[in-house]
Amino acid sequence: MSRLLFLLLCASALLASSMASAAIVEHSFHVKNLTLRRLCSEQVITAVNGSLPGPTLRVREGDTLVVHVFNESPYNITIHWHGIFQKLSGWADGPNMVTQCPIIPGSSYTYRFKVIKQEGTLWWHAHVSTLRATVYGALIIRPRSGHSYPFPKPDKEVPILLGEWWNANVIDVENQALATGGAPNNSNAYTINGRPGDLYPCSQNQTYTLKVENGKTYLLRIINAALNNQLFFKIANHKMTVVSIDASYTQPYITDVVVTGPGMTTDVLITADQPVGSYYMAASPYASAPGVPFDNTTTRGILIYEGSTAPTPIMPLMPATNDTPTAHKFYSNLTGLAGGPHWVPVPRQIDEHMFVTVGVGLAPCGGNATCPGPFGQRFSASMNNESFQLPTGLSMLQAFFFNVSGVYTPNFPDAPPVKFDYTNANISSDLSLLFTPKSTSVKVLKYNATVQIVLQNTALLAVENHPIHIHGFNFHVLAQGFGNYDPVNDPKNFNLVNPPVRNTIGVPVGGWAVIRFTANNPGVWFMHCHLDVHLPWGLATAFVVQNGPTPGSTLPPPPADLPKC
Ligand code: C2O
C-alpha cells in the first residue's frame, strides 16, 4: 500500500471516529449596511446578515465552527470569538493586526476552529475600530450529546444581549474623538436584544418582551455587549441564580442583581414563581469613575406571564450608578464549580510573576493643535507605563510565525518602572506619571509557563473599574480588593480551592485583582481593557507564547485565505 493511501485511510478513520461525537457547524456572515429606525431617527449601521444583534451561533462542546465572513460593508472587518480558547487556531482569533490583517471591503475570510473543553455562553464581535457596537451576537456552547448541565435542566434558554446605541455612525464618533484626542461622545441608549425599551423617545414598540409560563424555569444567557459601560441587570421581584460566568460553571449564587462589565457573560436561572403579571427587566450603568461623564439612561424589557392582564409592569429598583459596594459584593461572591465539567485546578507553582498597573493617562497634544483633554493634552492609557500601539504593516501573529522582527518588541516589563502610591488621589494629576511612551511591547512566555498577574488600578486622572480581557486563556481569579495590593497579607486570602474562572476581570475601582493561568497555547494573545474607548488609547499588551516541543504544541501555518495587509 502506498504511503499516501495509508495516510488517507488513517485520516478518514480519525475523521469517522471524531464525527461520532462532534459536528461541523457552518455559517455565512454577510457584513453590510443596514438601516434601522431607533430613538426617532433612521441610522445606517454595519450589521451581520441584516439583523441586530447578529445571528446566535449554537454548537456543542467538541464541535468545529466554520464561519465564512463576507465583507460587503464599506469598512475593514475582523470577527473575534470572545472567550474561545483557539487551541492551535490562533489564526481564527480575530483581533485586527494582532492575529490577522483586516478583511477589506469586497473580500472574505473563513474562520475555522474547534470548541473544546469549554461550555456555556460566549459571544462574537467585530474586533476593529468601534464596529462591535453593532457587529455582535451570541455564541452558545451546550454540553456534548449525552452530557448534561451541572444544574437542573431549564424549560427554556434565552439569550439576553445588552448593547449600546448611538444616534450616529460609530466610526465617525471614534474618528472625531481620535482626531482631537478627547473622549468620544457617549451613547444615546442601552439596548436589550437590540431594543432600547420604553423609557426612550419613540421606543414604545421597541421593547424586548419575554413570555413566561407560571412555574417554569428559564436560563437567561446575559451578555454585556455594551462598548463602554458596566451594567446592573435586574428583574422586578425575581431572584436569579448565577450558574455560569464567561462559559465557566459557578457554584449556584442567588442574587437579585447581576453586575456585568463589557465582555462578560452571566448565565442565570429564573423561575416564574411570582403572581401572574408583568415585570420589567432593566439594565442601568455602573459608572465607577468619579467625575467621568457617561450615558446615564436605563434600558428595559418586559417579562410577561402567560394569562397576565396587568396593565403596567412592575419596575425593579436599580442600584445607584456609583454603587461600588453592590458591584463588589456580586463580583467577589462568585466561586467556580471545582470538580465540575471542564474544571481546571489552580496552578500552584508559578513561573512568571507579573505586577501590572492599569489606568488612563495622557499623550502630548502635538504641534500647535488644541486638545480638549485634561491639561490641553490627548487622552492615553497604559499598562506598566507602556501605551500599546497596534502595528501597521503585518499582524503580530504573522510576525511570530514567520520570524519577522520589528513588528513588536519583547520587552513588556514585569512591574512598572516607577513604584508610586498607585491609588492615592493626590497622584491623579502628577504630570511626571501621566505621560507614557507608545510602544508595541509584549511579554514572551515559554510554552506551558504558569503566570500570576496582579492587576493594579491607578488613580491617574481617575480611578476606574477596568474590565481586563485576555484572549486565548481563561484565568482563575484568586482575590480582589481595594487600595494598593499588599504582597505580604493579600496572598493569605487567595482562594486556591474554587476561585471563579473568567476571561474578563473587572479590576475593582482604585483596587487590584490577582489572576493565574497556564500559557498552554502558542501564538499571540491580546490582553486589553474591554471598555472600547480605552483600546485606541493604549490600555493593552499581548502575550507571545512560544511553541512547545511537539507538533501538538506548535502553531500550524496560516490558512491560505488569511487576509493580506
Ligand atoms: Cu471581546 Cu479583544 O475582545
**Distance from the CA of 216 to the center of ligand 1, in angstroms?**
34
Alpha-carbon span 126 to 390, nearest angstrom = 16
Do the strands 352-363 and 449-457 form a parallel or antiparallel pair, or are they unpaired? parallel
- The predicted structure's pLDDT at residue 293: 96
Amino acid identity, position 163: G
**Distance from the CA of 427 to the center of ligand 1, in angstroms?**
30
Cell of 482: 481595594
Q: Is the CB of 528 under 6 A from ligand 1?
A: yes
Residue owning the nearest CA to atom 1 of ligand 1: 82
**Distance from the CA of 441 to the center of ligand 1, in angstroms?**
18
Do the strands 189-192 and 156-165 form a parallel or antiparallel pair, or are they unpaired? antiparallel
Please state whether 125 falls in left (phi above 0), alpha (psi between -120 and 50) or beta: beta
The DSSP symbol for 547 reads P
Q: Is the CB of 466 under 6 A from ligand 1?
A: no
- The predicted structure's pLDDT at residue 368: 80
Of the candidates 483, 287, 452, 464, the one whose C-alpha atom is nearest the C-alpha of residue 359 is 464
- The predicted structure's pLDDT at residue 28: 98
Question: Partners of 249 in the beta sheet?
Answer: 244
Q: Is the CB of 526 under 6 A from ligand 1?
A: yes
- The predicted structure's pLDDT at residue 310: 80
Q: Is the CB of 263 under 6 A from ligand 1?
A: yes
DSSP labels for 318-338?
A: PPPTT-HHHHHHHHHH--B-T
- The predicted structure's pLDDT at residue 10: 45
| SS percent in the chain: helix, strand, coil, step 5 | 10, 40, 50
Q: Tell me if 85 sits within 8 A of 62, measured CB to CB.
A: no
Q: Is the CB of 127 under 6 A from ligand 1?
A: yes
- The predicted structure's pLDDT at residue 7: 45
Secondary structure (3-state) at 14: helix
Q: Is the CB of 534 under 6 A from ligand 1?
A: no
Alpha-carbon span 125 to 273, nearest angstrom = 35
Q: What digits encode the pLDDT tens for the residues 396-423?
A: 999 999 999 999 999 999 999 999 999 9
Q: What digits encode the pLDDT tens for the residues 31-65?
A: 999 999 999 999 999 999 999 999 999 999 999 99
Cell of 202: 419613540
The DSSP symbol for 347 reads P
- The predicted structure's pLDDT at residue 367: 80
Q: pTM of the entire structure?
A: 0.95
Alpha-carbon span 509 to 463, nearest angstrom = 6
Q: Is the CB of 502 under 6 A from ligand 1?
A: no
Q: Is the CB of 132 under 6 A from ligand 1?
A: no
Q: Is the CB of 95 under 6 A from ligand 1?
A: yes
- The predicted structure's pLDDT at residue 489: 98
Alpha-carbon span 104 to 99, nearest angstrom = 15
Which residues of the chain, if any, have pLDDT below 70? 1-20
- The predicted structure's pLDDT at residue 409: 98
- What domains does the chain contain, in order, with CATH numbers? 23-142 (2.60.40.420), 156-333 (2.60.40.420), 352-553 (2.60.40.420)
Ligand 1 atom with least separation from CA of 262? 1
DSSP labels for 195-264?
A: B--TTSTT-TT---EEEE-TT-EEEEEEEE--SS-EEEEEETT--EEEEEETTEEEEEEEES-EEE-TT-
